[in-house]
Structure 1
Amino acid sequence: MYNKTKILLSSVGISMMLGGCLGMNSTNTNNESKKTKETHAASGEMLVSVQDYTGEGYALPYGKETDHIAEANRDQIEEATIKFFQEKYKTEVTVHNVAGAKDGATVFVESAGKPDFYTYAVVPVDETAEKVLVDKIWADEYQVQNAIQGGLYHMIFNKEFGQLDDYFTSLSAEGQITGKTEKALQNVGGHGLMTPYYFISTASDDAAIKPVYDLYLQNPDESVENLRNAYNESLFDKENFQINIQLFMKEKQAKPSEEIFTQVTNDLEEMNNIPKGTYSFYLNDNLIHAETSEGTKDNSLERAFPNYIIKD
């Protein structure tokens, strides 16, 4: 299972991938990413309450030099990005944020309709000429495919995900836990189907959802019923489908609660009507690292690799 997990993004962030236009790598392991998050989170002055975090302060490595160039050419970047997703993925998107990165600018987008997802594209930047090379815009094909596939899963299994969404909404209403803000997801999310409480990861060789993805690209207006009928349930492999849960304590000074962690873990294990797949779960304190948008720290409680929660 670990080999398949390696192709997935860390369950709590994607800043390592977004940091460079030339050196992006989608095979970061959970352990490598976690170590990086812990290093970043060590600087307390960068930590803010998750309820207050909207993406302000977010920065990518080596991005200062290109950030101001990207901002000065924001209109060009937005126009090129919208056109890129329309032509290549038959999908209308909204641009929420542009962040300077090594040799380029990372553009965070959200789908304008169904399926719901967040992803990103990269526009190379010529620092010497202070130009954005919009004609060379590109995106990591697997990450966009992963984003669309996650949105399609959420759409065709709406009832099952509705159970999961209702559970976290109810849990949050009890007043002890919370999730990321919608603005944070829009401005620095970039990872597929995302809610304040979880995001979805699919494998590139997820044969069950691939016919749905292909049908969507052929006809983005295809009915939910036809998309659901294209799903090949006999090829479903729980190792190819992860639901990555990240909750935060609501009180600003609260440490991750063992009681809440145990309750949520037990609830997830006992629930029968939520989506099938592999679940990871992190319970963090109230703080999030502004520069990386990551919440996992040394004191976080986790149920993840190799001890996932399995629903099959």
Structure 2
Amino acid sequence: MSTITDIARHTFRVESEAVGALASKLTGDFEGAVRAVLACRGKLIVTGMGKSGLIGSKIAATLASTGTPSFFMHPGEAYHGDLGMISPQDVVLAISNSGQTDEILKLIPFLEDNGNIVISMTGSSGSTLARHSRFHLDVSVAEEACPLSLAPTSSTTAALVMGDALAMALMHERGFKAEDFARFHPGGSLGRKLLTRVGDVMRRDNLPCVPPQMLLSDVIIEISNARLGVAAIMEGDRICGLVTDGDVRRAMQKYRSRFFEIRVEEVMTRTPKMILQSARITEAEEIMRRFKIHSLLVTDGEGRLTGIVELYDLMSDNTHVNF
């Protein structure tokens, strides 16, 4: 008698085997489908009924977020008026495991008359939908994971993976980059990292700026008040160095009773790491990690100090963005 764990393992095995078999089912139609979508001057419209429709919605979302304009169209709604959203320049991806889904087949006369290229994704190359398609993607499976062989399981997984393969191939051919992905996901952490500039997150108010002749004992107060852990050393509007709270602590340990006589220019870093305010925060993060530092002076294009950015500002999802 099968246990609950046995059923889970059986499901994993059957569905993984179904996915593994997809590679052997690829034909020239897959590349043809990719080329057709690349040449498309409209959108890739995905349609499917029931569970295939749910998979189609996910595929359309993946395509849209990876550089291929796409949306899902419910075949039932399409037959009752939504066909008006399809232009002759669009390519249609129709998903049906049997290839005989009535709601999908009813759309074929319109799509043929409208001049749309149809890509089908079915489990039967001899089905009506496959025969009326320009390109056919075979997602047939040996068995469903369902013990009754009724609930779409392996078949929907295979369709989902084939859709992912289509999206990834299109990404590759379009030269789609992480920056492009971020543009479509500005609300996520990746979008924030790749789109946000240093000037958007830097501290710009009440910056701790001190002259090189200031005593370290006074610099401690400036650093403490600013709560940044560093102070910029300035001669007029020229940056001449940087001192950190770590520099101050090491000076206290080194000079001991002479500490109150030491001026900041004696311990400051004379060539501090700096970054332009127009740089992406990923660049700032890389500099900090490479040199094992926690703060950067931020400058404008003319070399003037405009802010200070700390590693915390780059890592925190709750950072206020100064737009």
After TM superposition, the score normalised by the length of structure 2 is 0.18
Looking at both structures, which has the greater relative contact order when contacts are Cα pairs under 8 Å and sequence separation is at least 6?
1
User: Which structure: larger Rg?
Assistant: 2
The structure with more helix, counted as a fraction of residues: 2
Structure 1 or 2: more strand by fraction: 1
